[in-house]
Amino acid sequence: MISELAGQYTIKKESAISESFAIYDTFDWRLFNKSFVLYRSGNKLFLRKLAKSAILHTIEITSLPVFIWDFPDGKLKKHLLPIIKMRALLKLVEVLCRSTIYRILNREEKTVARLTYEEILPSRAKDVLALATHLWLKPVKGYPKHSQDLAKQFKEAGFIITKKEDIYFKALKVVDEKPGSYSGKLKIQLDPDMRSDDATKMILHFLLQIIRINEVNIEKDLDTEFLHDFRVAVRRTRSALGQIKNVFPMETTNRFKKDFAFVGELSNQLRDLDVYLLKEDTYKTMLPPVLQNDIDPLFEYLRQKRSKALQNVLNGLRSKKYVKILHDWEAFLNEPREYSKTAANANLPVIYLARKRIYMKYLRVVKAGNLILENTEDEMLHVLRIQCKKLRYLMEFFSSLFPRKKINILIEQLKKLQDNLGDFNDLCVQEEYLFNLTKQLPATHQQFKKTLVAIGSLIGTLDRERQTVKDSFAKIFTDFASPANRKLFRELFASKQ
Amino acid sequence: MATLALYSNKGGVGKTATAVNLSYLAAQAGAKTLICDLDPQSSATYYFRVKPKLKSRAKGFIKGGKHLYKSIKGTDYENLDLLPADFSLRNLDATFAKLRHSKQRLKKILKPFRDRYDLIILDCPVTISILAENILNAVDYTLVPLIPTTLSVRTYRQLLSFCEKNNYKTGKIYTFFSMVDRHKKMHHDLITSVLKEFDGVLQSYIPYLAQIERMGIYREPVVAFAPSSAASKSYQNLWDKVQETILSPVRRK
């Protein structure tokens, strides 16, 4: 095509530019999900929007930042922080892009348009086949006639001049990565008329996949969220077994409930430590400046504990008991359904069971919450938190059965309440945890004495915050239990049988 | 965003060559750059192989805005656009004088471009009339090429006293040595005395070189067709100084 054009225009070939670049994202595609592309080329890191070429932010780097706290302070960090949060950046792919620019000249030998021939290559080696090639036309400002004429000629020659398709997708195809392929969120499409036991197995199957995917990555210890997603999937599995009642034989349900309780406990300690270590910066800012460095030995101590805890978890995941639980579980989910007298709801259309379970749980949450309004006891807040979590899981398991907008409104409302209860619980647990730690730290050393003072100060701050959170409960709960929400809950879930 | 005028009240001092090379270097460094050729002789426009023509001529120029934006042409280089000259600009002085706010006209004309470019470089014609005041009002900084000769230095003195009299900040006016012949003792002596006499003298010398004149044959910035020549090195050095001294955030009071 280019040689054909040479008859009419003077064409000047520029030297080809080869640029290797590597694309990064978190394991759960947080950047992709927000349509961002983060890539490194040379010693620079760039952020741009997907399908756009304008660079939003760029920084020079000496080594590649893995976590947000590895980034130098600045606009890029500010931009990425709310997106990637605590997740590690992983290199998705590294490819070479070789582009050759042909300048189309007019009689004055002035450039009036540019043609770019772009090849994506797997490596710098000679004679490698390009993975993808494309040609695109870039007009030069002020010469619209020429570009229009060129575009027309290309079209007539059967050449489709692609608008610059995002190289991102081409590069990922090279390594067979499908953007957005993993998410810790539940994406299950159920049919309202499905048998309840089949639907439940579908949900559990989905959760098992999440367990499996994350299980292998916990060992690599790239970031804390593999374990977190793993634990959430385990918790959801337990909740599904407990809350979607009478769909499997009683003895099966009881056995796996116990089994998954065991699986969950395996990593309690490690997750606790992860949470505290992630809070390192937050805790420091809570302290008066004179104490800020004194808290360091605490985190040093927690880090040491964490490496032991990680080893324990890995041992647990390799243990015969764990392997057998997961093996049996998988076998159960894959086996053809079993008819059992104990499973009264097994062949009920899932929509009925879903409505019933969600509505009952909702009523229970409202009842428990109303009792707390009369008399706010910490223990009752804890119970309510658990009830809310069960309700939330049920709504998420079955969300595909209900009008998306409406159920999302309710989930959003519930989330606000859960955040309040969750904050309260976290603060209680933290205070207690830190207090117990003071007994473990050897107080003989002068340095540790200062650390104890810092921990004391921290507990004080946490306690004040806890009171604030508690005080805001009444308003948040009343909002959740509002007539408007009640109406919507009734509309979606009140039994129509 | 910054605007920089290559200006002198004396002719033949190397304004256009400097404007063309600096704008090329700025664009290469990644700044979205616009060079405005305000000189009806249209030399800068010629160097970039563009027709010296504005849509709706000087009228369109004075109107500014969208009409003028349509006249802008992309050059042979990425990131570098050119606002071509037009012979009708020769009466710009007279036209500005007839209008209200006659000394702020150019500022107004360029305003919409400030958002679109990182750097705007003006290649100005020789003037010390109302157009000169328009230029001084329109730009953030003025860069005056100075040939180390008595007359050139005298003209520069004139410019500075003109500015002082009319309340233009001389602190935003910078100068550098242009068309320097190092073998001439007079050049050498004048450089020394200029450095003593004035503030805002960039430590940069563009030598008098045939290579620079060849720009008219190649119709390209010398930095583009002979990047490793002495001429290119001196322009690169000037660009570095412009960045360090003028465009970087630490500024002279």
Residue A111: closest CA among chain B residues belongs to which residue? B76
Residue A106: closest CA among chain B residues belongs to which residue? B49
* pLDDT higher than threshold 80 for residue A377: yes
User: What pLDDT shows up at residue B251?
Assistant: 39
Among 3.90.1150.10, 2.30.38.10, 1.40.20.10, 3.40.50.300, what is the CATH number of A184-269+301-348? 1.40.20.10
User: What pLDDT shows up at residue B253?
Assistant: 33
* pLDDT higher than threshold 90 for residue A80: yes
User: Which parts of chain B fold into alpha helices (H)?
Assistant: 15-28, 43-47, 57-63, 65-71, 92-98, 105-110, 130-138, 150-165, 185-197, 210-213, 215-218, 222-225, 230-241
Instruction: Identify all chain A residues contacting B72, using CB atoms and an 8 Å cutoff.
Output: 141-142
Residue B74: closest CA among chain A residues belongs to which residue? A141
Report yes or no: B156 at the A interface, CB cutoff 8 Å. Answer: no
Report yes or no: B219 at the A interface, CB cutoff 8 Å. Answer: yes
* pLDDT higher than threshold 90 for residue A187: no
Three-class secondary structure of residue A287 per DSSP: coil
Bridge-partner residues for B4, per DSSP? B121, B141
Three-class secondary structure of residue A133 per DSSP: strand
pLDDT tens for A342-353 read: 688 998 999 999
CB contact under 8 A, B73 and A111: no
Q: Among A103, A109, A141, whose Cβ lies nearest the Cβ of B73?
A: A141
Lowest average pLDDT, out of A55-59, A154-158, B211-215, goes to A154-158
**How far away is chain A from the Cα of B76, in angstroms, using its nearest Cα?**
5
CA atoms of B239 and B30, how far apart (whole Å): 13
Mean pLDDT across chain B: 92
Provide mean pLDDT across the span A159-186. 78
Provide mean pLDDT across the span B5-16. 94
pLDDT tens for B15-41 read: 999 999 999 999 999 899 999 999 999
Q: Which two tokens stand for residue A376?
A: 């706010």
Q: Which two tokens stand for residue A140?
A: 């030069």
Helix A268-278, helix A404-440: angle, nearest 10: 90
User: What pLDDT shows up at residue A458?
Assistant: 93
Instruction: Identify all chain A residues contacting B76, using CB atoms and an 8 Å cutoff.
Output: 103, 110-111
Provide mean pLDDT across the span B199-216. 92
Residue A132 pLDDT grade (very low, low, confident, very high; cuts 50, 70, 90): confident
Cβ–Cβ pairs < 8 A, chains A and B = 27
CB contact under 8 A, B49 and A143: no
**How far away is chain B from the Cα of A315, in angstroms, using its nearest Cα?**
53
Tell me the ipTM for this assembly: 0.82
Q: Among B51, B70, B74, whose Cβ lies nearest the Cβ of A140?
A: B74
pLDDT tens for B127-165 read: 999 999 999 999 999 999 999 999 999 999 999 999 999
User: What pLDDT shows up at residue B250?
Assistant: 43
SS3 content of chain B, % helix, strand, coil (to 5): 50, 15, 35
User: What pLDDT shows up at residue A99?
Assistant: 87
Instruction: Identify all chain A residues contacting B48, using CB atoms and an 8 Å cutoff.
Output: 110
Instruction: Identify all chain A residues contacting B49, using CB atoms and an 8 Å cutoff.
Output: 108-110
Residue A12 neighbours by CB under 8 Å, 6+ apart: A102, A103, A105, A111
CB contact under 8 A, B76 and A108: no
Provide mean pLDDT across the span B179-186. 89
Mean pLDDT across chain A: 90
Residue B78: closest CA among chain A residues belongs to which residue? A140
CB contact under 8 A, A111 and B74: yes
CB contact under 8 A, A142 and B72: yes
Domains of chain B plus CATH, in order, are 2-247 (3.40.50.300)
pLDDT tens for B108-134 read: 999 999 989 999 999 999 999 999 999
Report yes or no: B74 at the A interface, CB cutoff 8 Å. Answer: yes
pLDDT tens for A290-337 read: 888 889 989 999 999 999 999 999 999 999 999 999 999 999 999 887
Residue A341 pLDDT grade (very low, low, confident, very high; cuts 50, 70, 90): low
Residue B71: closest CA among chain A residues belongs to which residue? A142
CA atoms of B49 and A277, how far apart (whole Å): 63
CB contact under 8 A, A109 and B49: yes
Percent of chain A with pLDDT over 90: 65
CB contact under 8 A, A141 and B48: no
Q: Of A238 and A291, which is predicted with more confidence?
A: A238
Report yes or no: B93 at the A interface, CB cutoff 8 Å. Answer: no
User: What pLDDT shows up at residue A54?
Assistant: 78
CA atoms of A295 and A242, how far apart (whole Å): 42
Residue A439 pLDDT grade (very low, low, confident, very high; cuts 50, 70, 90): confident
Mutate which: B73, B80, B86, B225, vs A, most A CBs within 10 A: B73
User: What pLDDT shows up at residue A19?
Assistant: 85
Residue A55: closest CA among chain B residues belongs to which residue? B30
Provide mean pLDDT across the span A133-145. 85
Instruction: Identify all chain A residues contacting B81, using CB atoms and an 8 Å cutoff.
Output: 141
CB contact under 8 A, A108 and B75: no
Provide mean pLDDT across the span A228-237. 97
Q: Where are the domains of chain A?
A: 2-174, 184-269+301-348, 349-497
User: Which parts of A350-377 fold into alpha helices (H)?
Assistant: 350-374
Same fold, A184-269+301-348 and A349-497: yes
Residue B70: closest CA among chain A residues belongs to which residue? A142
Report yes or no: B48 at the A interface, CB cutoff 8 Å. Answer: yes
Q: Among B72, B76, B81, whose Cβ lies nearest the Cβ of A110?
A: B76
* pLDDT higher than threshold 60 for residue A164: no
Provide mean pLDDT across the span A260-286. 94
Residues of chain A with a CB closer than 8 angstroms to some CB in chain B: 103, 108-111, 140-143
Q: Among B48, B51, B81, whose Cβ lies nearest the Cβ of A141?
A: B81
**Cβ pair A217, A90 in contact under 8 A:** no
Residues 112-141 of B with CB under 8 A from A: none
**CA-CA-CA-CA torsion sign (A117, A123, A127, A130):** negative
**Cβ pair A121, A90 in contact under 8 A:** no
User: Domain A2-174 adopts which CATH fold?
Assistant: Hypothetical Protein Pfu-838710-001 (2.40.320)
CB contact under 8 A, A103 and B72: no
Instruction: Identify all chain A residues contacting B33, using CB atoms and an 8 Å cutoff.
Output: none
Among 3.30.230.70, 1.10.3720.10, 1.40.20.10, 3.30.420.40, what is the CATH number of A349-497? 1.40.20.10
User: What pLDDT shows up at residue A339?
Assistant: 60
Q: Is A304 exposed, middle or buried (0-12, 13-18, 19+ CB in 10 A)?
A: exposed
Mutate which: B34, B76, B225, vs A, most A CBs within 10 A: B76
**How far away is chain A from the Cα of B82, in angstroms, using its nearest Cα?**
10
* pLDDT higher than threshold 70 for residue B97: yes
Q: Which two tokens stand for residue A345?
A: 């709801």
User: What pLDDT shows up at residue A159?
Assistant: 67
Report yes or no: B49 at the A interface, CB cutoff 8 Å. Answer: yes
pLDDT tens for A466-481 read: 999 999 999 999 999 9
- CA A263 to centroid of chain Cα atoms: 22
